[in-house]
Amino acid sequence: MHSCEAGIIEPYQGCANGGLDVMITGTCFEPGFKVYFGEKQSPSIQVIDNNTIIAKTSPGTENSIVDVRVISPEGVESILPSAFHYGLLVKVNSIYPYSTRLEGGREITIFGENFTYQSIVILRSQLKDGSKWEEIIEPSQAPTNSEIKFITPAAPEILIADVCVKNVDCGEVCLNEALGYYDGITNELPFTPWIGITAGYTPVVFFGHDLYISKICDVKFDGISAKRIYKQDGKLIA
């Protein structure tokens, strides 16, 4: 049975959301090891070599300090007492506006909590061919604790993107399917979901320019008008 020992963790603090990669150094690490932050197991670890593990922090309680446990495949524990400090919980609550032209260039504001001056924005979506589109964006102004402003980049096609915020001490915090890219020339609008039940009554959300959305009075699915359409928060729901 191995007598392995964890020695140092770096960095030793991060946000309460988890998702931060930390490096644990020690002795005789090998594949099959587990890492716990308090009572929660790390969702992902990578044994780099006999002396190094990269572990992703699990979610924790705001402003708490926890032990970090490294457990060998045989069940032998090495404990770093009070080794990791959880800070505040980063939240992404909403964005406005909700849409932009394919060419980009529109300023979007993200509303949330506990952003920092080092926060960055990530847009991500799956394209029609199955590939992933991702853009990492610096804010257009210095972020405040509760707002981040950024200018939308161009997108390769009509899509709906996840909007994520990443702090230096935190993993990504995302608002899924939050920003729609529409064609300002053809007025082709992105929408979600793509699949519904045959009986109908599946709410479908369309993203577009506020002025164009306000003028829509009917939506048809295979020639049949939607039972109800209404505008909510700058989106059209049918």
> CA 226 → CA 78, 186, 189, distances in Å?
61, 22, 16
> 95 and 177: one domain?
yes
> 71 and 104: one domain?
no
Q: What is the pLDDT of residue 229?
A: 75
- Contact at 8 Å (CB) between 212 and 180? no
> 81 and 101: one domain?
no
Last residue of one domain, picked from the residues 34, 64, 86: 86
Q: What is the pLDDT of residue 99?
A: 92
First to last CA, the chain: 63
> 156 and 202: one domain?
no
Q: What is the pTM of this model?
A: 0.83
Q: What are phi and psi of 125, to 5 degrees?
A: -155, 155
> 169 and 200: one domain?
no
Q: What is the pLDDT of residue 192?
A: 80
Last residue of one domain, picked from the residues 67, 86, 105: 86
Mean pLDDT by groups of 10 residues along the chain of 238 residues:
76 94 91 94 94 95 96 90 96 94 96 95 95 97 97 96 94 93 88 67 76 70 74 70
> 104 and 157: one domain?
yes
> 79 and 132: one domain?
no
**Cα atoms in the 13 Å half-sphere on the side-chain side of 163:** 28
- Contact at 8 Å (CB) between 135 and 153? yes
> 46 and 121: one domain?
no
Q: What is the pLDDT of residue 215?
A: 67
Q: What is the pLDDT of residue 186?
A: 87
Q: What is the pLDDT of residue 150?
A: 98
Tell me how many domains the chain contains: 3
Q: What are phi and psi of 89, to 5 degrees?
A: -90, 120
Residue 63's domain spans which residues?
5-86
